[in-house]
Amino acid sequence: MGKKITPLLRFAAGATAHLGGYGRCRLSTPLPRFAVDATARSGGYWVSPILGNHLRSRWSVATLVLSLAACGSNPPAHVVLEPPPVRTAQPDEQPRAATKPGQVRPQQDVTARAPARPAARPAPVMHGRALLEQLIPAAVTDRSAWANDIITAFGALDIPQTADHFCSVIAITEQESSFRADPSVPGLPQIARNEIEKQRERAGVPKLVVHSALQMSSPNGKSYSERLDGVQTERQLSDLFDDFIGMVPMGKTFFAERNPVRTGGPMQVSVTFAEKHASTRKYPYPISGTIRNEVFARRGGMYFGIAHLLDYPVSYDNRIYRFADYNAGQYASRNAAFQNALAIVTGTSLELDGDLLRYDQGHAASEPSATEIAARKLAARLQLNATDMRRDLEHAKTQDFEKTRLYARVFALADKVSAKPVPRAVLPRISLQSPKFTRKLTTEWFAKRVEDRHRRCLARIADAG
């Protein structure tokens, strides 16, 4: 057993035991080799006999103290500290709470922190007119007046003033006229003369008779032929034909009281649609002359165009079908899907144009269409006769068609044959025909172009934020 040692020896031994207990200390000053076995007992330090004999010499004690001091003051390159191994908890081991005597209090983070920045204020949410003016392209002339006409139409038709609806109107107007109330049409005089020639041949009128009629003076003092050569817009051409039909003796017979200019205004809406709509709903402006005249004005063109686009209920799951309907006729995309379902069940090749009946002057003709003939082939399976089918098909231009037995039973058979639900809306496959077009266009092309414009319109909200 070792002996009790003096305070100086106690310091040296305790220091040696402390450094040895923390880790290994490599000393640059050589020491005699000895073993340290320091243990805290009864308030004192005990050392082995070998160390005790060595420390009896004051010189040895001084050497040890200086060496220990050198160990504590050596640069990091001479001191290698190896922390005790960290114990890793097993996955199924419960965490053990620290005991109070050895509990280590967490240190406070005294790192200096920059003061928190104030939260950015969210961009104000725009509604109604403010939202609309944000969405109308900045390059549009007289944006405030366009906004007035659109807001008035939405209010009169009771259409929700949403960004989606606003952008739908803006996209159609951009596509049809680039926001020009009475857009000019390149080559319009020749287009008009070609239309007159078609009408002449249809009516069986000699060329000389038509030529003589065009040389007559019109209400403004110029001949109809001179006015025809100077027209630049559809409104000017429409006014010319109105005068010609009303003033020239053969005018009504020649054009059957129908002006060949059938669409007009900034949204290129059908004049026939406008006249029919005005007969069922109150027009919000004083009528200047006729509904046809109103179509060619900015306010009327926007009102009737918005009505044609949005003032009817649909079951579509994608707005692109509304855009297609604007070009092909309301519910044309739904009706094209019905034709597709009918073709699947019957194996008949049908033109998916959305016209379920033949029409003459806007009214259903008695002669059955290809779609109606295909449906009659399923009379037994559908448990419907020809009269039942015709009655249901007469609802083709309303939402009520979806409630008919013909609609429900044809789609039920098509779903069964296909072993999956067939689409309830299809883009009509129509090649667009107009003397104004210089290349082949389709309803699908039109719908996708408008959809792209609609997407860019909505992006202006994000840009503003």
Residue ranges of domains in the chain: 7-78, 188-264, 322-429
Amino acid letter, 189? P
- Asked if residue 334 lies in contact with residue 363, where contact means CB atoms within 8 angstroms, the answer is no
Highest mean pLDDT among 59-68, 185-194, 290-299: 290-299
Segment 42-54, tens digit of pLDDT: 344 444 444 445 4
The whole-number average pLDDT for the span 374-391 is 97
pLDDT at 78 over 50: no
pLDDT at 81 over 50: no
> Tell me, what's the pLDDT at 217?
87
The whole-number average pLDDT for the span 102-125 is 51
Percent of the residues in the chain that have a pLDDT greater than 70, as a whole number: 68
pLDDT at 431 over 70: yes
> Tell me, what's the pLDDT at 185?
86
> Tell me, what's the pLDDT at 437?
57
**Per-residue confidence band for 196, with pLDDT thresholds at 50, 70 and 90:** confident
Residue entry with tokens 């606003």: 166
What does the angle CA 462 – CA 448 – CA 156 come to, to the nearest 5 degrees? Answer: 70
pLDDT at 126 over 90: no
The whole-number average pLDDT for the span 445-457 is 97
For the range 308-315, what are the long-range contacts, defined as Cβ-Cβ under 8 Å and sequence gap of 24 or more?
A: 308/267, 308/269, 308/270, 308/273, 308/277, 309/168, 309/169, 309/172, 309/267, 310/157, 310/159, 310/165, 310/168, 310/169, 311/157, 311/159, 311/277, 312/399, 313/399, 314/399, 315/399, 315/402, 315/424, 315/425
> Tell me, what's the pLDDT at 28?
41
Is the model more confident about 213 or about 147? 147
What does the mean pLDDT of the chain come to? 79
First to last CA, the chain: 85
> Tell me, what's the pLDDT at 116?
59
- Reading the block at residue 362, the tokens are 């806007």
Ranking 70-79, 349-358, 376-385 by mean pLDDT, the lowest is: 70-79
Closest by alpha carbon to 236, among 195, 196, 305, 185?
185
> Tell me, what's the pLDDT at 438?
59
Ranking 223-227, 241-245, 289-293 by mean pLDDT, the lowest is: 241-245
What does the angle CA 384 – CA 388 – CA 391 come to, to the nearest 5 degrees? Answer: 150
Residues near 234 by Cβ (< 8 Å), separated by ≥ 6? 182, 183, 185, 188, 261, 263, 264, 296
- Asked if residue 217 lies in contact with residue 243, where contact means CB atoms within 8 angstroms, the answer is no
Segment 238-278, tens digit of pLDDT: 988 888 777 766 666 666 556 778 899 999 999 999 999 99
DSSP type of residue 348: -
**Per-residue confidence band for 213, with pLDDT thresholds at 50, 70 and 90:** confident
pLDDT at 384 over 50: yes
pLDDT at 412 over 50: yes
Alpha carbon 265 to chain centroid distance?
27
Q: pTM here?
A: 0.70
What are the distances in angstroms from CA 187 to CA 83, 236, 243, 262? 92, 13, 21, 17
The SS3 call for residue 41 is: strand
Ranking 87-101, 212-226, 238-252 by mean pLDDT, the lowest is: 87-101
pLDDT at 128 over 50: yes
pLDDT at 19 over 50: no
pLDDT at 119 over 60: no
Residue entry with tokens 């320091």: 38
> Tell me, what's the pLDDT at 72?
45
